[in-house]
Amino acid sequence: MSFIATRCWKILEKNRVEPSEQPPRCPTLNPSTDHLHIGRHAMVSSDVDLCSTMGKEILLRGGNAADASVTVALCVGSINSGSSGIGGGGFIVSSSNSTKKVLSIDAREMAPGMAYSSMFEKNPVLSVVGGLSNGIPGELKGLDVLFHTHGSGNLTWAEVIEPVIRLNRDGFECTLSLEVTIQALHDRYFTKIPDLAKSWDFIYNEDGSLKKVGQLVQRQNLARTLELVAQNGSSAIFYDPNGPIVPHLIEANNKWGGLFTSKDFALYETKVEDALSYKFGDLEVYTTSGISSGIVLIAGLNLYSKLQKATDASYLQIHKFIETMKWMASARTRLGDTRTSEEYQEIVSNYTSDSWSEDIRDNKYFDTQTFHWSHYDPLFQTSESHGTTHFSVLDDQDNGVGMTSTVNLLFGSIVYDPITGVILNNEMDDFSTKSYNNSFQLQPSKFNTVQPYNRPLSSAAPTIIMENGIPIFLVGAAGGSRITTAVLQAIMRVFNFNSDLLSAIANPRLHHQLLPNYVLLENITLTSEELGYGVLEQLEGLGHTFQETGVETTMNAIHRVRDTIHGVADFWRKFGEADGY
């Protein structure tokens, strides 16, 4: 069995953690219960403990899940700015107990009007760094829609933003996650393109050194931008071509070769529709629709539920799960913003149907072997997002919100506007470019090509599971093409294999996306121990191969367990913590 060395121990060595201690950014089979948070009324689970607490405080002030989500999203985007922020976008699934509606809110970034299909063919790196890689940000518009559609009405727009304004103005302690990403930003980009570093301010100390853990980080410019948004009563000022924000974003974008115009911001809208739903035993699964990968998650639930048998040996359970992941990857290749609404509905109907999953079970799946990638009938696509975050919120009125937000890769495009404090995304890399595999090594797709005002395909799949109309499980993940398989694993571990939430999040995960043609494992040693002696060898006998990759996803979740609410954030991969009461 050949594999590359895990990054866990490289980070362990770098941060000088004693081997006897739990290494940072590593899955574990023995998670400490210190990271299981239990409440009776409400819970917030996010990548940043301070932001989870800030969301809880909004709930204690009379706000609901939608109100708290605005605060949490802006807080995480301020502190873990290498992953998300108002210069990016995201997807939201929100359930309202009073209206009995579950909505999908698409706040995905949009290609500017001057974008064209071949814009990255000669120089693909421009889809990753610089102005051409920027899409029109959507996060603030999505949060605006969430707040004004499902908010409690007890708190104003300004009141849910004000704590984050104060956070940025007064400053916060640099986290280990932020230190690591700042160092990576410097090493990967600023040493090669020094001019890029000149506009960045908040990552440096007065002596010019980079911020380290525990040092004060202040983002005064972002605080002023958020104050303008708060005073406006909505996100409209952020998109106003004649307002105080858009001209600066256009200037920063154009300075680095981008195509932004004022018209692009004026035309940006979120897409709001009923969430996708799927009956999963006695439970109802809700997830995001449209250009997200919610339907891919549903396809996985549909197929695995047909393949699984209670009598399966361990190796066969994993074999069936890997085969399910391959068919999920195939399903994703059929998505893209060039699809018509009628074509999309046909896709939804197909992957939610028993006929699709039963045909695979009866004719295309075998207990005895796996297959060449072409067996799974992919059309291929690019994939996205490593700099991503997810959070979940459940309030005491049985409202739930899950949001997956991103600026795409580490610190997005590395284009930072010091006037507004906004870091612009590089979501244009998520479109397909002919003869070019993007950051997650998947192939191009004709359904996901660059076109003016289109949105790139996303792997996001924030999910709410309900029982008798009450949210009992909220989950989502970060990690690009690995998101849907991670979420599927969490759901299967809890509902099919009776795992507690702590273990479901902390234990190592696996992933397959057809190409490259091997199973990715976070930690082969731990996975072998978890599955049992000889299981990986049995799987190799069926034709599977394995590569160890280290940490590739982070996942945050909430589970209602009888009369308590359990919250677990992915401390083992991104140092997150939940908080509730």
Which residues sit in the known binding site for L-glutamate? 108, 406-408, 430, 458-459, 480
Distance CA 569, CA 31 (A): 12
**CA 2 and chain centroid, separation:** 29
Q: Which of 370, 388, 463, 484 is catalytic?
A: 388
Q: Could you give the C-alpha distances from 417 to 194, 201, 346, in angstroms and in order?
A: 16, 10, 42
Determine what percent of the chain falls in helix, strand and coil, rounding each to the nearest 5.
40, 20, 40
Q: Are 196 and 104 in contact (CB under 8 A)?
A: no
Q: Are 61 and 84 in contact (CB under 8 A)?
A: no
Reference 69, options 84, 265, 276, 296; nearest CA is: 84
Q: Cα(215)–Cα(522) distance, rounded to whole angstroms?
A: 31
**CA distances from residue 123 to 114, 133, 385, 436 in whole angstroms, order as listed:** 17, 11, 20, 10
Concatenating the DSSP letter of every residue in 29-64 gives: SS--GGG-EEESS-EEEES-HHHHHHHHHHHHTT--
Annotated binding site: 108, 406-408, 430, 458-459, 480
Three-class DSSP category at 510: strand
How do beta strands 463-467 and 470-478 pair?
Answer: antiparallel
Specify whether 404 is catalytic: no
The DSSP code for 6 is: P
The tokens of 365 are what? 């799946």
Q: HSE of 319 in the Cβ direction (CA atoms, 13 Å)? A: 24
What span, in angstroms and rounded, lies between the C-alpha atoms of 314 and 324?
A: 15
The residue among 498, 528, 534, 537 whose CA lies nearest residue 510 is 528
The H or E element that residue 301 is part of is: helix 294-307
What's the rounded Cα separation, in Å, for the pair 385 and 440?
A: 8
The DSSP letter of residue 246 is H
Dihedral, CA atoms, 350, 352, 354, 355, nearest 10 degrees? 0
* 268 close to 138: Cβ distance less than 8 angstroms: yes
Question: Which amino acid is located at 164 in the chain?
Answer: V
In three-state secondary structure terms, 240 is coil
* CA–CA distance, 368 with 370 (Å, rounded to integer): 7
- Residue type for position 388: T
State how far the alpha carbon of 249 is from the alpha carbons of 70, 252, 521, in Å: 22, 5, 40
- Give the number of C-alpha atoms closer than 13 A to the C-alpha of residue 328, restricted to the C-beta side: 32
Task: Count, in order, helices (H) and strands (E) of the chain.
Answer: 20, 21
Omega of the bond leading into 462 within 30 degrees of 0 (cis) = no
286, with CB counted inside 10 A (0-12, 13-18, 19+), is: buried
Say how many C-beta atoms besides its own lie within 10 A of residue 545's C-beta.
14
Exposed, middle or buried by CB within 10 Å (0-12, 13-18, 19+), for 302? buried
Catalytic residues: 388
